[in-house]
Amino acid sequence: MSRRVAIAGASGYAGGELARLVTEHPELDLVTVTANSNAGKPLGEVHPHLAALGLTLRETTPAVLNGHDVVFLALPHGTSGELGDALDAQLVVDCGADHRLTDESDWADFYGGVFSQPWVYGMPELPEATATLSDATRIAVPGCNATAVTLGFAPLVFRGLVDTTDLVSVLAVGVSGAGKSLREDLLASEVLGSASAYAVGGSHRHNPEIRQNLQRLGADEVTLSFTPILVPMARGILATNTATLRGGVTATEVRSAIDVFYAENPFITLLPEGRQPRTADVLGSNATHLQVVVDERANRVVVTAAIDNLGKGTAGAAIQSTNLALGFPESLGLSVIGVAP
C-alpha cells in the first residue's frame, strides 16, 4: 500500500522538486501540498510544470499535515523546528537546517533563534549512516553546498590522506539555491552574464555542518575556507575542493580511496580520468559526479564534485533517506540520468 505523503512548502523550489519526485515514486502517494503566502492557489499556478497533479496548496499547519504517513518539510530555517514537534507522521523529513546541527553554539553563531534537537542526518554516504537511517522516524536532509563539499572530501578524510586543517572549497552555485522568494539581487538583469561570491570569509551557514560531517569521518580538527559563487544557471553546484596531501600519498592511492569508498554507492560516479564533472550532466537526477587530480607542484589534491542542488542537494537526498527509513531499496524512484544539455 502506498504511503500517504504531505509536502509543506510545496510552493518553493525544494518543495516543488519533492512534489515531482514523490509523484514518480512507486510507493509514495502525494496527497497534500501546503504553502504560506500561496496557500489557496492551485499548485499548477505556482509551479506550471506540476499543473497535471491537480492539487491545491493548503495552509501549513499541524492540523493539515497530520494524518499522513510521511511529511516532507521544505520551509525556511527556523520554521520547521516547532512545527516538526507537532506532527504525528511515522516519518518526518526536514529539508531545512533546523535539525542538522548537533552543537547548539554552532546554531547560535550561524543561524540564531531557538535551537532544535538534531534529527538523524540524512547522508547515507557517511559511516554507519545507512543503519541509523533504517530506524529513523525524523530525518534532517543535508544542505546542498554541504553535500557537494562533504562528498568530495569524504573518502580522503576517512582514509586520513589529507591535512584537514588546510581545506579549501570554492563552489559555483545556481540561483535556485537561494529559493523562490523575490530578491532584487537575484533578478535576471543582476545575475545573467555575471558571477559574484557571497558569504565570503567563513560566514556561510553550511560551514559548521561540513565540519560536523568531516569530524564524523574521522577528522580531529577541521579548518575549511569555503567560498560560494553565484553563477548564472538555474540549478546545479560545482564544488572545487582542494586539500594538502599528507606526506607520501600518491595520486593512485587517492583515486583508489574514492573508488573503494563509493564502490557500493548507486548515485556517486568517479568519472574516467581526464573528464571533469559538469553540472549539466547531473541536473534532474540524484547523481553526484566526481573527479580527482593531484596538483604535484602545489602538493594539493583537487576533487571536483557536481550535483543538482535540488536533486542530490535536497529533494533527491530526502527521497533517498526516506527509502532507507521505510525499508525500500535506496534508489527506488530516483534516477542517475541527467537532462543535459
Ligand X SMILES: NC(=O)c1ccc[n+]([C@@H]2O[C@H](COP(=O)([O-])OP(=O)(O)OC[C@H]3O[C@@H](n4cnc5c(N)ncnc54)[C@H](OP(=O)(O)O)[C@@H]3O)[C@@H](O)[C@H]2O)c1
The residues binding ligand X (CB under 6 A) are: 9, 11-15, 35-38, 60, 74-77, 79, 95-97, 143-144, 176-177, 179-181, 309-310, 313-314
Residue nearest to ligand X according to CB distances in the complex: 12
Q: Please list the residues that pair with 70 across neighbouring strands.
A: 5, 91
**CB of 157: closest distance to ligand X in angstroms?**
22
Strand pairing category for 288-295 and 28-35: unpaired
For residue 208, whether the previous peptide bond is cis, meaning omega lies within 30 degrees of 0, is no
Q: Let me know: does 293 contact 270? Beta carbons within 8 Å.
A: no
95 is an active site residue: no
Which of 143/152 has CB closer to ligand X? 143
Catalytic one of 18, 74, 129, 144: 144
**CB of 177: closest distance to ligand X in angstroms?**
4
Q: Angle 327-152-107 (CA atoms, 0-180°, nearest 5)?
A: 75
Which of 46/162 has CB closer to ligand X? 46
261-282 residues labelled b (16+ CB within 10 A) or e (exposed) = bbeeeebbbbbeeeeebbbebb
Determine the Cα–Cα distance for residues 13 and 315; give it in Å rounded to an integer.
Answer: 9
Which of 249/311 has CB closer to ligand X? 311
- Span between the terminal Cα atoms of the chain, in Å: 37
**CB of 80: closest distance to ligand X in angstroms?**
7
**CB of 173: closest distance to ligand X in angstroms?**
9
Which of 11/240 has CB closer to ligand X? 11
Catalytically annotated residues = 144
